[in-house]
Structure 1
Amino acid sequence: MKKNWLFLLIARQKWMLFLALLFVLIEAAANLAMIGLQKWLIDDVLLSNGGEQFRHILMLFAIVFFVYVVMFVVSPYVMHKNYLSIHHSLQKKMMDQLQQVSMRSYKKHPVSFYLHKLNQDVKTVAVTAALHIPKIVQTIFMAVVLSLILLSVSPILFFLLLFASTCYFIVGKTMAKKATIIAKDVQERKSDLFVHVEEGISSTREIVAFDRRKWEISLYEKLFNKMMDSVMKEGKFQNKLLFLTEPLKWLGILSVLLFGTYQVAAGKMSIGLFVVIYQYASQLMKSYQELFQYVFEFFHQRASIHRIREVLHVESESKGTKRIDDVEDILFEEVCFSYEQTAKGALDRLNLHIPKGKKVAIVGASGSGKSTISKLAVGLYRPDSGKVLVNGVDLTDIEASHFLKRVAVVPQEPYFFPDSIRMNLIMGLTDITNEQLEQVCEIAQILSFIKGLEKGFDTVIGERGISLSGGQRQRLAIARALLKQADLLILDEATSALDRQTERMVQKGIDDAQGGNTMLVIAHRLSTIQNADMIYVLEDGVVQSCGTHEELMEASSHYRSLFMAQVITAS
């Protein structure tokens, strides 16, 4: 869904869109028929005393009016249903795309940048596809039919109105490019303001704690003023268009009025025909103006189409197709990796082996590349060079969803949804019993806290778990990971916010619960990984040494200095 993505999206709704087009065309035809029947009502009934024809004309009028009313009611319903379907499909497609893009893309733009596109731009495009396109077709249909009717009645009158329509076209073509530029600028300014507001709300605690409310408001004012300037510029542009186009509409209507009056006075046109032709001409000029407005709205909305296309064209990771039955081992071969904002690589020709059923630990000073390994191990990032192999297969060749079902991760900063504790623990898993929840929470040393809450597991913890302490969040995240019963458990400094006694209890519970499953532990406190089967010591993205705790204490001065420094600090 890269090229012609909008066409493909519309094609999926083609039959419902066709139905909407059919209904609006019938509505337009009924409207024109009601106007046309007025000629016979005036000429043959009112002026000629044709009482016998009155009944037939009235019956026809009633039938046409009934059709018009039905279509007038049904067509908006069908179009709105199409709007909801297209909105849903496009938003779903964008969410799916955003969940597949490279994590590097999120380094370039904040999440709220994409949220604005998901909300405002998707709505704009859905309105264009489902509501405006049928209306544009209806307007073109009416303009063509009315032009043919007026041409058959009076070529002179037709060419007068054609001149006005040509002027509309010239104005539209001249102003179209500028309209798109202005509309895109307005959307960008609105997006900047939305991003700032969202970030300001998310960082409320920091803003209050650092007494930066005035500073935050001043930034808001600057962004709001920029957005207001863009909106006012767009308003002035629209007023300019109105100033150029409104006289064209009245020029056409006055031309018809003067020409029709002359024709009636000369006896060349009946009063009934004059009334109908005047209404048709007014309707035609209205159609020209509506078509002009729709075209300009399309150029305005094209900015949203471009913005959505930018998201759909964001670099996404190539999808693997291979599947694995379980995670036998993970091997890092000559892996190099760097973040874009740092000139120095986070990992440099890293070689590391995580065998099945073993507890492997990674230690090192801050910034040595420990957490980067966990991100590469689950495919959140891809190496700049080298390979990450799972069961001897390149991780990029493995189907991501299939692999991730066998992996559980506890990150440094776990995310929690503004929902209940139960829903945050389950995270889409099925057939989870209360006994299972209590079991993993007991291992994570969080069960007594949950049972002490009035609503227990049904307690809502707020966005990002704001009502919990750092240690409580970490323990909930550990319980969530254990509940998955994955082949590979990755703990990325998962107990850093716990006191030492609780940390030891949690770590022992995890070791017992994992049994023969594989564990990758990224630790800051070395006391928690002394029983690891293999410990890798990182320094500046390179494995400086590896072995068991006893082996490293004897052979690695770097590991020994790290361990002794923590022992001294603890004592």
Structure 2
Amino acid sequence: MDSIKRYMQFVKPYRWQIVGTILIGMLKFGLPLLIPLLLKYVVDDILLVDGRSAEEKTNELLMIMGAIFITFLVLRPPIEYYRQYFAQWTGSKVLYDLRDKLFDHIQRLSLRFYANNRAGEVISRVIHDVEQTKNFVITGLMNFWLDLATILIVIIIMFQVDITLTLVSIMLFPFYGFSIKYFYSRLRHLTRVRSQALAEVQGHLHERVQGMPVIQSMAIEDYEQEQFKKQNTNFLQKALDHTSWNAKTFAVVNTITDIAPLLVIGYAGYQVINQGLTVGEMVMFVAYIDRLYNPLRRLINSSTTLTQSIASMDRVFEFVDEKYDITDKPNAVECKTARGEVSFEDVSFKYEENEEYVLKKLSLEVREGETIALVGMSGGGKSTLVSLLPRFYDVTEGKIKLDGVDIRDVTVQSLRKQIGIVLQDSILFSDTVRENIALGKPDATMDEIIEAAKAANAHDFISSLPDGYETKVGERGVKLSGGQKQRVAIARVFLKNPPILVMDEATSALDLESEHLIQESLERLAANRTTFVVAHRLSTITHASRIVLLEHGEIVEVGPHEELMRKKGHYYNLFTIQEIS
């Protein structure tokens, strides 16, 4: 029930809207309760009354029915409209707030979380599971109480007419309680299992949709169809387990529901024959049985719906409870404007507790405005080292200082504002070119965006696009070439204008023409900034202030290109091999 308590924190701001919806709902459900009383009056006081002419009875019947029709026609439509509108409005607002909270949570989770969890499963929690919780608001906090109030009102009215017959009507209620207790605890578990299986299908599907070019280029459609079938079959089995148990629940509950009216009809008929119960009272009782057991059926259905909602709540708050690897210290300060002096002091790092160290006791002093090139064989720790600077991960041992201050002593957001990053595969969103560049500075003017694009050698190709800067680039920038995507990403960093720059294999996957344009823009971008360049192609970093050669997480050599070439050590060997090849 902890999930319900936490969910109620999102419901609490809308408590008066819920109260208002319940009050309107009581009018909606209250009006039909007049019909059994009307039946009793029509049968006992009009139809079966002796000594009155057919015309008199007809006139009275028309008057009563006319009054009832007007009541229903005038009151029922607006009551129904506002009840539905406020119920859905409140549910939608709660979901809006919850998804807003979850998106904030998603942005705070570290890259370690995303390395270990599939995007599709995260999306399933935010979309599917959150949507399922809406039923808790509409069913659990509104309809449940309305149905319960309807049952109580009906029982009170029935008690006024005949106590014994009322007791017969409700004698099966304890069986309902037992059925709910027995069936719904397991149903909640089965619902959670089914939701997890659905999330796995969604995660698998999300990956395959993103990787469709690989599937089609490898001609492995049949193989992937089988892989998807396995995921889908697993979900089908969990869904059928849930369906089977749900069907057993309804079989028992509906049997009880069907038996109860039979008991009432039999006993009421006996009373009419032997104990003076009027025909009108019997008709009224039978009509009220329908009013009594319909809400009861809805309550049973509500129990199923609420079980599913609570299971979804469990999954949502399980996700919310995912711990942040990277957090601000309570006394963390803002990093206003960094000069760009960076020092790595005995830095060691491993991704998981039980894994090997990727970096080992690494120390490096970087002066303001220096360009540091990180080179070495794949797996040496180059990309890992630069990912520690913006605190995508925190060091396992040692410390990293920016302008003499441990980066863990400043707020994460203010630290990352000081750093611009250009990756090998720069990610663009499926928005316009203008919006993608503006990510570097969301409040930038159009003139600033154009200037940044010019600095990145991107303005000319952007101007030639069908809609210029308003051209949509497609998911992950699929409508642009690799070089064009990279130049848009560089323009983004120009706009951000950070004092520290990280370039991780920024030109390694481009053609010669694109590489020339991008290398030119990157050199312009790196001017007067502290820059870290991760590169495999050593010919692109000969201009660096210092080159740092990493092997197995340790610094092997440090120095300018000419100095390292004169040493004829590891760097010389790497450079010579690349030049020959």
- Both structures adopt the same fold (TM-score exceeding 0.5): yes
**What does 1:37-56 align with in structure 2 at a 5 Å threshold?**
37-48=38-49, 55=63
Q: Find out whether 1:30 has 2:38 as its counterpart.
A: no
> Contact 2:372 / 2:533 at 8 angstroms: preserved in 1?
yes
Query: Hey, what does 2:77 align to over in structure 1?
Result: 69
**What does 1:337-486 align with in structure 2 at a 5 Å threshold?**
337-340=349-352, 343-427=355-439, 429-430=441-442, 432-486=444-498
> Contact 2:483 / 2:518 at 8 angstroms: preserved in 1?
no
Query: Hey, what does 1:198 align to over in structure 2?
Result: 206
**What does 1:6-405 align with in structure 2 at a 5 Å threshold?**
6-48=7-49, 55=63, 59=67, 62-63=70-71, 66-266=74-274, 268-316=276-324, 317-320=326-329, 321-328=332-339, 329-340=341-352, 343-405=355-417
**C-alpha deviations, 1:241-265, integer Å up to 9, x for none?**
2221222112111122122222333
> Contact 1:338 / 1:344 at 8 angstroms: preserved in 2?
yes
CA distance in 1, matches of 2:512, 2:73: 82
Match of 2:355, SS state, is coil
> Contact 1:537 / 1:544 at 8 angstroms: preserved in 2?
yes
**C-alpha deviations, 1:378-427, integer Å up to 9, x for none?**
11111222222333333233222223223221122211112222222222
> Contact 2:36 / 2:285 at 8 angstroms: preserved in 1?
no
How many Å apart are 1:42 and its aligned residue?
3.9
Query: Aligned residue pairs: how many?
Result: 569
CA distance in 1, matches of 2:544, 2:530: 11
> Contact 1:21 / 1:134 at 8 angstroms: preserved in 2?
yes
Unpaired segments of 5 or more residues in structure 2?
none
Distance change >3 Å, CA 273–CA 131, structure 1 → 2: same
Unpaired segments of 5 or more residues in structure 1?
none
- Aligned letter for 2:125? K
CA distance in 1, matches of 2:513, 2:255: 83
How many Å apart are 1:490 and its aligned residue?
1.3
Query: Which segment drifts farther, 51-60 or 271-280?
Result: 51-60
Query: Hey, what does 2:553 align to over in structure 1?
Result: 541
CA distance in 1, matches of 2:5, 2:275: 57
CA distance in 2, matches of 1:383, 1:2: 34
> Contact 1:33 / 1:64 at 8 angstroms: preserved in 2?
no
Distance change >3 Å, CA 62–CA 274, structure 1 → 2: farther
> Contact 2:483 / 2:514 at 8 angstroms: preserved in 1?
no
How many Å apart are 1:308 and its aligned residue?
0.8
Match of 1:408, SS state, is strand
- Aligned letter for 1:107? A
CA distance in 2, matches of 1:61, 1:501: 81
Distance change >3 Å, CA 57–CA 446, structure 1 → 2: closer
Match of 1:416, SS state, is coil
Distance change >3 Å, CA 32–CA 332, structure 1 → 2: farther
Distance change >3 Å, CA 300–CA 369, structure 1 → 2: same
**C-alpha deviations, 1:509-551, integer Å up to 9, x for none?**
3333444232222222223322322332211111223222233
Match of 1:206, SS state, is helix
> Contact 1:147 / 1:158 at 8 angstroms: preserved in 2?
yes
Q: Find out whether 1:492 has 2:504 as its counterpart.
A: yes
Distance change >3 Å, CA 282–CA 337, structure 1 → 2: same
How many Å apart are 1:434 and its aligned residue?
4.8
How many Å apart are 1:339 and its aligned residue?
2.4
CA distance in 1, matches of 2:420, 2:144: 52
Query: Hey, what does 1:567 align to over in structure 2?
Result: 579
Identical counterparts, % of pairs: 25
CA distance in 2, matches of 1:4, 1:495: 52
CA distance in 1, matches of 2:147, 2:401: 60
Distance change >3 Å, CA 293–CA 408, structure 1 → 2: same
Match of 1:460, SS state, is coil
Query: Hey, what does 1:517 align to over in structure 2?
Result: 529
Distance change >3 Å, CA 155–CA 485, structure 1 → 2: same
CA-based RMSD = 2.6
